[in-house]
Structure 1
């Protein structure tokens, strides 16, 4: 079940973020992520709209949007590969007409995930915080093609 994040979910969301970030970004020291926990708690999450994926009363993933930016999507490492990330991403798509994000270029699994879900690479840049290359990606629904399949016009 996907629902809005509640204040009582905060510590679980932070734990998921730290563990998933550390695992997905093994090219960045864990201490980097640990040093950003307070910013996540006090700056980033309060500025975002966040939804959690709850299963059997336990939060197992979350997605955060800031305007049209997919600011965060993380699934507990023990729950990855079960469709939770896909469900959260589809939920985010229903909230916005367009989404953009950045992802580390070295995070091949996440890039493949976003490409499978219709995102396209829009550019590349360096992350100011880590110095690692990251890709800018965008998603927007395809407009129907006039006169396409199923059209009654000849």
Structure 2
């Protein structure tokens, strides 16, 4: 079941974020993610509309939408990868937010880039993400 995140979900959402960043984006050192966790929790999450996927009374993924037009985060517990949770969260967001949607994905994260392409997103530009120094794709898709 997908539902709006509550304050009680925050700790679990942050666990998922950290675990998925470390395992899915291992080309960036683990300490980078640990240093940024507080900023994500205190600044980024409160500025987003966050929806969680809950199964058997446990949150196993989330999507964060900023300003109704940008997917700022889509993360699934690594133990639950390849079960359709990310696809379900993305489909939910595309159903509820109409028009052009953007997101950013690290170019080295081919698993994520390929997933977003399957979901109808295309690379519109490339840039270097300042803090990590990594190349990032700005991708765009349209809700149907």
After superposition, the C-alpha distances for 1:67-108 in whole angstroms (9 at most, x for unaligned) are 111000000000010000000000110121221011000000
CA-CA distance at 1:141 after TM superposition: 4.1
Q: What are structure 1's unaligned runs of at least 5 residues?
A: 143-154
Q: Equivalent residue for 2:33?
A: 33
Higher share of residues assigned helix: 2
Query: Number of paired residues?
Result: 142
After superposition, the C-alpha distances for 1:103-144 in whole angstroms (9 at most, x for unaligned) are 0000000000000000011010000111110101000146xx
Q: Equivalent residue for 1:72?
A: 73
Q: Equivalent residue for 1:122?
A: 124
Q: Is residue 3 of structure 1 aligned with residue 3 of structure 2?
A: yes
Q: Is residue 57 of structure 1 aligned with residue 70 of structure 2?
A: no
Provide the secondary structure at the position in 2 that maps to 1:20. Answer: helix
Q: Equivalent residue for 2:82?
A: 81
Question: Is the deviation greater in 94-103 or in 1-10?
Answer: 94-103
| TM-score normalised per structure 1 | 0.90
Counterparts of 1:139 and 1:34 in 2: how far apart (Å)?
A: 30
| TM-score normalised per structure 2 | 0.96
Q: Equivalent residue for 2:105?
A: 103
Q: Equivalent residue for 1:150?
A: none
Question: Is the deviation greater in 121-130 or in 93-102?
Answer: 93-102
Larger Rg belongs to: 1
- Which consecutive segments of 4 or more residues in structure 1 shift more than 2 A? none
Higher relative contact order (CA 8 A, sep 6+): 2
Provide the secondary structure at the position in 1 that maps to 2:115. Answer: helix
Q: What are structure 2's unaligned runs of at least 5 residues?
A: none
